[in-house]
Amino acid sequence: MATTGGYRHPRGAPEPIPSHNPHLPRWVLVDPSCDDGGMTGDSGDPTRIDGAVILVVEDDPHIADLLDLYLRQDGHRPYLAGSGERALVLFAERTPELVLLDLGLPGGIDGLEACRRIRATSDVPIIMITARDDEVDRIVGFELGADDYVIKPFSPRELMGRVRAVLRRSARAGTTTGPVVEFGGVRIDGERLEVTVDGVVASLAAREFALLWFLVEHVGRALTRRQILDGAWGDGWIGDERTVDVHVRQVRRKLGDDLPLATVRGVGYRLD
């Protein structure tokens, strides 16, 4: 994989270059092979998901305007918030289908706190955007419920790809899966999309249920993190495979020891 300014792209793909457009921040990476300067918006793209309401939480007006432009070109309906406080207000008013959330927000509610508050009441997908390339920040973000993590500088085309992937994954998570299976006191109902532990409903997020059901469908088989990501949340999932570890930890915490979910050293996980 070739790397430019923190942006990873497939071998052989056109090399992104820093933008020289005076209206764009210098850190934005632009694909020179794209006639529109690297912006998306090709209506013939079969992977495009139109019309999603997206909340953009970014305090830098230049970056916010840029994200607004790319999202609109890709057919989405963005709403902009410059602070955590404003983000929570807009989230309640607009009920977005996706949140792009900057970590470094001013005021009393930073990105992590905004993520925590949103996740307390909603399972909406969240993509965190930050200038901090710190593994601890990524892990904390995933533990708070973030779906993906983008580090500045980023390619707008890559970000739009991540937006599409997360929206597809979210749509799949709400579909009916199958019958009822039981592991001790853990009862997993694929028709109702519900899990109970000793008769008490366990509050699993949609992503956690999708991960659990994929393991159920492959019971007894050792699965890699990549297999789990692609199988549970959609082929070609873009992001850090470590998010599987975070969600597995959450599932184990919520369902307890009756769930026979084993860690396969050097491979991934297996439901026995």
pLDDT digits (tens, 9 = 90+) for 6-21: 333 333 333 333 333 4
> What pairs with residue 9 in β-bridges?
2
pLDDT band at 26 (very low <50, low <70, confident <90, very high): very low
pLDDT at 83: 94
Any idea what the Cα angle at residue 109 is, between residues 140 and 92, rounded to 5°?
100
pLDDT at 202 over 50: yes
* Under 8 Å between Cβ of 247 and 239: no
pLDDT tens digits, residue range 149-187?
888 888 888 888 888 878 876 665 555 456 888 888 999
pLDDT at 194: 87
| Nearest alpha carbon to residue 260 among 205, 181, 200, 147 | 181
CB neighbour list of residue 246: distance below 8 Å, 6 or more residues apart:
139, 142, 143
pLDDT at 159: 87
pLDDT at 197 over 80: yes
pLDDT at 124: 86
pLDDT at 58: 93
150, two tokens: 């983008």
pLDDT at 229: 84
CB neighbour list of residue 214: distance below 8 Å, 6 or more residues apart:
223, 228, 231, 232
Largest CA distance in the chain: 62
Q: What's the burial of 111, exposed, middle or buried (CB within 10 Å: 0-12/13-18/19+)?
A: buried
b vs e for 193-226, b when ≥16 Cβ sit within 10 Å of the residue's Cβ?
A: bebbbeeeebebbbbbbbbbbbbbeeeeebbebe
Greatest mean pLDDT range, 44-53, 112-121, 135-144:
112-121
Q: Please compute the mean of the pLDDT values over residues 115-128 and round it to a whole number.
A: 87
In 32-122, which residue ranges form alpha helices assigned H by DSSP? Answer: 61-73, 84-94, 111-121
Q: Give the chain's mean pLDDT.
A: 77
pLDDT at 38: 35
| Nearest alpha carbon to residue 137 among 155, 156, 115 | 115
- What amino acid occupies position 114? A
pLDDT tens digits, residue range 47-104?
444 588 999 999 999 989 999 999 999 899 999 999 999 999 999 999 999 999 998 8
| Nearest alpha carbon to residue 157 among 61, 53, 45, 232 | 45
